[in-house]
Structure 1
Amino acid sequence: MGREQLLADVFVDLAAACCGDSFDVGGYLERFALRCVQLLDVSAAGVLCAPPGEKLRPAAASEADPAFTGLLATSPLEGPVRESYRTDAPIGPVDLLHATDRWPRFAKTALAAGYRFAGAVPLTWRGRPDGSLLLLRTTDPLPERDVRLGQALAHVVASALCHQESLTSYRRVNDQLRTALRSRVTIEQAKGFLAHHMGVSLQEAFEAMRGHARSHSRLLRDVARDVLERGLIPEP
């Protein structure tokens, strides 16, 4: 398979994987990291995310090696990921042999794990930083064109995460609206039942239900449901 075809397949895969009702953020980010290794020919890739109001932390990795896991744990504290996230710009690739003053802990940990070059690109969508993608190589720095390609992939992923967040928020609000509408229908039906049964106005029936709900520390919709389903007749 040629690289152009592989590139197209990766973009389609990442776009399609975020669709559907069973979206798994962890699985999606892991797929993203593995695809980066495949497409960019890097030795390892890791994704670190920072949900709104929270700190940067590891979210997915292309390797299960403990040394790489330890490197990801160091990345929120110093290194290309932290700089990329804070500046919202690509960092590197950097020769880690010459970065011991810049990132003493990160460079030492990465070199000990066998990595020589490191870089990172931000996961940003519409000006909101969501995290960074760490790219590592054991030999030779990542070409500039591949850094740009990695940034394009990161934009796709950040867009997918933003879309899912909006979709989840929409569904939550939509569910709340449905619940509110169902409650209103139940209350209106109970008002009509009580007004007819008690020989009072709709407003008086409503006041009776509301007074019962307050005196018994219950929700009005629950009292209305008891009126319809159990024949509850509140005191006027």
Structure 2
Amino acid sequence: MADGEEPSTLADPAEGRDRAGAAVFAQLATELHDVEGVEETVEAVVHFALAALQCTAAGVTLVAGGRPEVLASTDPRVAALYRLQIEADEGPLITAVREQRLVVVADVDADDDWPAAWIEQARAVGVRSVVHLPLLVGGRVAAVLSLFGDTPNAFGPDDLAVAEILARHAAVAIATAREEASLAQAIDARKLVGQAMGILMERYDLESDQAFEVLKRYSQQHNRKLRDVAQELIETRLLPR
């Protein structure tokens, strides 16, 4: 810079994009925090992916016991692709879950690494590019974020970088929503069991521990959850036969 020359006030375009991207993800984090329920959280994730990335469709599958379960998708066309892989237990989605890694199919027509049935179905529904990104929680795959494009090589390095950031936010949000749902179910179950115990204590003059043992015995004998036994007792005022 020459003496007396004013410093440039022009902003670096890259810095501007970074700030804009940070603001967008900050907004996403806030929105996900405000959403209640697992399904609502997943819906927010897929619609954000659709808006932020150059994809034709997006979807999320939850993973329980190592098996994916489709929870949300922005396009019914991809449901057949999900279903085919889950039923056959093979394909890029299954690989992403088992190997806990990003799977990118840049061009369905040029990639013969996957089952022929899956490639044929992808072509049939007009999908040419696919990304499956595992959402890791505690070192395990809790869900998979999937992106679909109708052109080859639809997802470049920048798209994958954005998807990685989205996956981190989504993993935390989904794990939190699951934990809150489990806690709510546990609290609900305790309330039901408490009400059922009260009915037994009043009707049969039992102590609280005796009433609980009655419910537990019926639960074990009929191979039913304690919560369900309590629910039936409250509704019918009768123990299951």
Name the CA shift for 1:166/1:42 in 2 (closer, same or farther; >3 Å): same
Give the match for residue 44 of structure 1.
57
Amino acid across the alignment from 1:27: E
Per the alignment, do residues 173 and 70 of structure 1 end up closer, same or farther by CA in structure 2, a change over 3 Å counting? closer
Paired position in structure 2 for 1:153: 166
* Residues 123, 58 of structure 1: alpha-carbon distance in 2 compared, 3 angstrom cutoff: same
Cα separation, partners in 2 of 1:6 and 1:39, compared to 1, 3 Å: farther
- Quick one: percent identity of the two aligned structures? 22
Q: Which amino acid aligns with 2:72?
A: A
In 2, distance between residues paired with 1:219 and 1:101? 56
Deviation at 1:54, TM superposition (A): 6.2
Please state if 1:15 is matched with 2:32.
no
Q: What's the secondary structure of 1:120's corresponding residue? A: strand
State the Cα deviation string for residues 150-204 of structure 1 (Å, max 9, x = none): 1221121111122233344556667889999xxxxxxxxxxxxxxxxxxxxxxxx
Deviation string, structure 1 residues 43-88 (Cα, Å, up to 9, x no partner): 11111111x4362121111113xx3221222233332221111111
Deviation at 1:119, TM superposition (A): 1.9
Shift of 1:14: 3.3
Task: Please report how far the alpha carbon of residue 89 of structure 1 lies from its aligned counterpart in structure 2 after TM superposition.
Answer: 0.8
> Does the aligned pair in 2 maintain the 1:123–1:158 contact within 8 Å?
yes
Aligned counterpart for 1:213 among listed residues 206, 209, 213: 206
Paired residue type of 2:136: T
Alignment of 1:117-128 (within 5 A): 117-128=129-140
Q: Decide which of 145, 148, 164 is 1:133's aligned counterpart.
A: 145
1:42 Cα deviation from its structure 2 partner: 1.1
Q: Does 1:106 align with 2:99?
A: no
Unaligned runs of 5+ in 1: 181-208, 221-236
AA partner of residue 15 (structure 1): A
Distance 1:151 1:106 in 2: 25
Match of 1:75 among 78, 85, 94: 85
- The number of residues matched between the two structures is 191
Question: Partner of 1:213: helix, strand, or coil?
Answer: coil
Q: With the length of structure 2 as denominator, give the TM-score of the two structures.
A: 0.64
* Residues in 1 aligned to 2:17 and 2:85: alpha-carbon distance in whole angstroms: 30
The letter of the residue matching 2:172 is S
Contact 1:100 1:108 in 2 (8 A): no
Contact persistence 1:29–1:59 (CA under 8 A): yes
What amino acid is aligned across from residue 26 of structure 2 in structure 1? V
1:57/1:73 contact within 8 Å kept = no
Q: Tell me, yes or no, if the aligned pair for 1:90 and 1:122 is still in contact at 8 Å.
A: yes
Match of 1:29 in 2: 42
Equivalent residues of 1:213, 1:219 under 8 A apart: no
Q: Is the 8 A contact 2:132 2:147 kept in 1?
A: yes
**Which of residues 51, 71, 85 in structure 1 aligns to 2:97?**
85
Structure 2 unaligned residues grouped into runs of 5+ = 1-15, 194-201, 214-241
CA–CA distance in structure 1, aligned partners of residues 66 and 96 of structure 2: 17
> What amino acid does structure 2 have at the position aligned with 1:33?
V
Take 1:39 and 1:106, find their aligned partners in 2: how far apart are those partners?
Answer: 27
